Structure 1
Amino acid sequence: MPKIFSLVIALLLSSCSIDNGRYQMAQDRGPSYEPDLSQTQLQTPKAEAYSRGGNKDYQVWGKSYKVLTTHKDFSEQGIASWYGKKFHGHLTSNGEIYDMYQLTAAHKHLPIPSYAKVTNLDNGKQVIVRVNDRGPFHNNRVIDLSYAAAAQLDYLKTGTANVRIDSIWVEQSTPQTPLPLPQMNSLNQYFIQVMASKDPIKVQAIASKLQVRYGYQSQIDQQQALFKLRVGPFSSRKDADQLKVLLKQAGYTQSYIVSSQSKS
């Protein structure tokens, strides 16, 4: 019988990835030159359906995090940090491309995507951001803003700021549907096998990254000296197919789908 290991996610930095092969910069930083951010496109809050990826409950460093089923009437105060060039051009937790010159943010609990107004309590400056990523996960920080958003709040040099977060809820003719609560499905389920390796540390690092980025559970099945990484379960083949496409786009080209009836 294969031995299933529960994963405890260990992230090395404030944003979502720990794959040093993909993120080759040891330390995050801003661009090598000071860009002109005067033409940065402002965020116009609108009603958006919450994404399938990145909206599941998850664990980091052994701590469990619950994703809110709605961002309506949410507010919070705490310390904001920012992230930039290290993650520029890579995938966010819901499968979008992170652009440090756009007004976006990472949050541990808000459903994604959603919108929020962030106020720098030290200088009164404000910015509206679109939350599309997970983090930060250290030093009691409550939100990670993009490079451009941190520039708007004028704390690039200090690195952190005391902020207040107020969600922005946009009503629409068809009410925005809250995220469904997790349910167990006793019928046939689907998994995506992402990789197999004899290096358990490498496999667990990638599993941790994928679980936070896409919001689905990860499993490592040990079969003798081989460690197989699988993501899931999915209650439908359609959901599994959608994530498989994202995984292949992210460079995991060997990903394929197996069912609980055939998983071995």
Structure 2
Amino acid sequence: MVIFQKSFIILWLVLLAGCASTNSTKPESTNTKSPPAKQSKESNNKGGYYLDDGPGDNTSIDIASIPDAEPRTEKPLVSSNKPYQALGQKYVPMKTYAPYSKQGVASWYGKRYHGRKTSSGEVYDMYGMSAAHTTLPIPSYVKVVNPTNGRAVVVRVNDRGPFKHDRLIDLSYAAAYKLGLVAQGSGLVEVTAIDTSPEALSIAAKTNVAAVEPSSTSTAQTTELISSSNTNNTLISQSAPSKAISPSGYYVQAGAFKSEANGELLQKKIMDLDLAGDAAVTNVYNNGLHRVKLGPFSSKREADIHANKVRSQLNISAIVTNQ
């Protein structure tokens, strides 16, 4: 009996020890920090947004019906247009409007930044028509065109970025959606600054066109609407009439517009600055576009000289042609 009791006690102690071992807890890790947000793109053939970013949860918004930003005259913010550094690169923002037209890659940002403050101090709204740019004035307005599908939007620049060397502009989710860039996360676009001076906006309202109108042919032929300070909000009344150009010689094409009025404004600006010398400045309609040309010049070298004058004085594209 004693032996049985001792055996029972020993068996009970063994079972008790086993239960205690089963219920013991694993010591917690000393690393209590959350893992950093992933910065890699979604693994698909077309690219994509950051894994912790993306479209919002509000599916009731009709994004296609969201109106473009409406250009208006705004005073640049001193604090937002000072020189700054980001990722080791120095940037010097423009403080006022200057003609700007460039082609590059656009990306977009959505719910990850929705509700956060932008460089202008405004709160970012992913359903607004806004954008971030490294050097354009804050605030300012640009027209963004997707050359792949022909879609275009007007957005208001109110933030800084993107700071990757291969990116030109960061668009809001709504702007990217309307351009057809959401699915692939980024895409090639043409960005052109809009002159929002009272004079330019007045002319745009009268002619029912935007203050900037890129050519539909190529980036090299894209230019901005240049409003002269002495036009007094009127269209061209002193410029030379459009006339045919002789097929011989070399010419400088300074711009190509769908609107004749835009071509005439650039034509007058070139004449006022005497950028053509003794050559004629014409606004010729050809193949659906009004092309502003200087010439003819007797040699390509002479045409190149005047093309460089146009580029340096007006900061716009100018190409030399032989027709």
Q: Which interval holds the TM-score relative to the shorter structure?
A: 0.5 to 0.7
- Report the count of equivalent residues: 152
Corresponding residue for residue 68 of structure 2: 42
The yes-or-no answer on 1:162 pairing with 2:185 is no
Distance 1:64 1:99, change over 3 A: same
In 2: Cα distance, 1:162 partner to 1:62 partner: 25
Task: Please give the secondary structure, in 2, of the residue aligned with 1:130.
Answer: strand
Structure 2 unaligned spans of 5+: 1-36, 40-49, 200-323
2:115 to 89, 92, 98: 89
* Equivalent position of 2:53 in the other structure: 28
Greater helix fraction, Structure 1 or Structure 2: 2
Counterparts in 2 of 1:131-210, with a 5 A limit? 131-172=157-198
Q: Residue in 2 aligned with 1:221?
A: none
Q: CA deviation at 1:165?
A: 0.4
1: CA distance, partners of 2:189 / 2:68: 19
- Identity of aligned pairs, percent? 44
> What is the TM-score when the length of structure 1 is the normalising length?
0.54
Contact 1:115 1:130 in 2 (8 A): yes
- Deviation, structure 1 residue 39: 3.3
Q: Which amino acid aligns with 1:70?
A: T
Q: 2:133 aligns with which of 107, 110, 129?
A: 107
CA distance in 1, matches of 2:172, 2:109: 5
Per the TM alignment, residue 122 of structure 1 is displaced from its structure 2 partner at its CA by 1.5
Relative to structure 1, the CA distance from residue 136 to residue 128 in structure 2 (aligned partners, 3 Å threshold; closer, same or farther) is same
Distance 1:13 1:30 in 2: 17
Equivalent residue letter for 1:28: D
3-state SS, counterpart of residue 78 of structure 1? strand
SS at match of 1:170: coil
CA displacement, residues 24-49 of structure 1 (integer Å, 9 cap, x when unaligned): x9722111354321331321101100
Give the letter for the 2:168 counterpart.
V
**Matching residue's letter, 2:150:** G
Is the CA contact (8 Å cut-off) linking 1:13 and 1:137 kept in structure 2?
no
Pick aligned residue for 2:100 from 74, 86, 94: 74
SS in 1 for 2:177: helix
Runs (4+) off by over 3 Å:
none
Say what the alpha-carbon RMSD is for the aligned residues.
Answer: 2.2
1:143 and 1:63 map into 2 onto residues whose CA distance is 16
Q: Deviations over 1:43-78 (max 9, x none)?
A: 110110011332111111111111012232111110
Larger fraction in strand? 1
Whose RCO is larger (CA < 8 A, sep 6+)? 1
Structure 1: gaps (5+ residues): 1-11, 15-24, 174-264
AA at the equivalent of 1:123 = N
Among 71, 84, 88, the alignment partner of 1:58 is 84
- SS state of the match for residue 193, structure 2? strand
Alpha-carbon spacing, 1:149–1:13, altered in 2? closer, same or farther (3 Å): farther
Structure 2 match to 1:120: 146
Residue 139 (structure 1) shift: 4.9
